[in-house]
Structure 1
Amino acid sequence: MFGSTLSGFFERSVSWRWAVGVWLALGLAMGASADSDCIPPVSYHVLPTALAGADDNGDAALGSYERISPDGRFVLRSFSGARFGQVSLIELPEREGQPLRAYRTPLSNEAFPVQGSWRYLVDVNGEHYRFTDVLRQQQRARPLFQGGMTGFYAAASELDADGAAPVPQGGAAAQSFYIRSLSWPQGDAEMQGTGPLQIRTVRVSDDGQRARIVEDTGPQFICTERNQRDGNVYGLPMISIDGREFSAMPQSPREGRPSMRVYGLSAAAMAPHHACDLRADLGFSPGKAVFGFPSPAEPADLTYTDNASIYFFDRRLGRSFLIDEYRRDLLASAFPGLTRDGRIVAAATWKRCGADGVCTPEAGYIVADPYQSQAWLAYWRERGRAPPRGCITRASVAQERARFAAFHHLAE
Structure 2
Amino acid sequence: MNEQQISTLLRAEWDDLPVGPAPVHLVEKLAERDRRRQAGRRWGGIVGVAAATLLAVALVTTRGDTEDPRPVGPVVDNPADVSWTDGFTLHLDRTTLTVGDELDDLVAWHSRVAEDGGRYGVVYASVDGDVIHVDSLGRVRTIGRTGADDTYVAASTVSPWSAWVDATEGHPALVVHDTAKNKQVAREPLPAAALAGPAVDPVRRSMAIAVDGERVWVRTPTGDLVWEPGRPLKASPYAGSWVLDAADRTVVTSPADPTVPSLVTVASASGPSYSVRGSGNAAVSPDGRHVLVGMAPIGNASLAWKVYDAASGEPVGIETPSLGQSDEIEQAVLGETSAVFVVGRDRTLPEEGSGSASEFQRQEIVSCPLSGDPCVTQMSIPGAELDSGRLVLEH
Q: Same fold (TM over 0.5)?
A: no
Q: What is the TM-score normalised by the length of structure 1?
A: 0.43
Give the TM-score normalised by the residue count of structure 2: 0.44
- Larger strand proportion, structure 1 or 2? 2
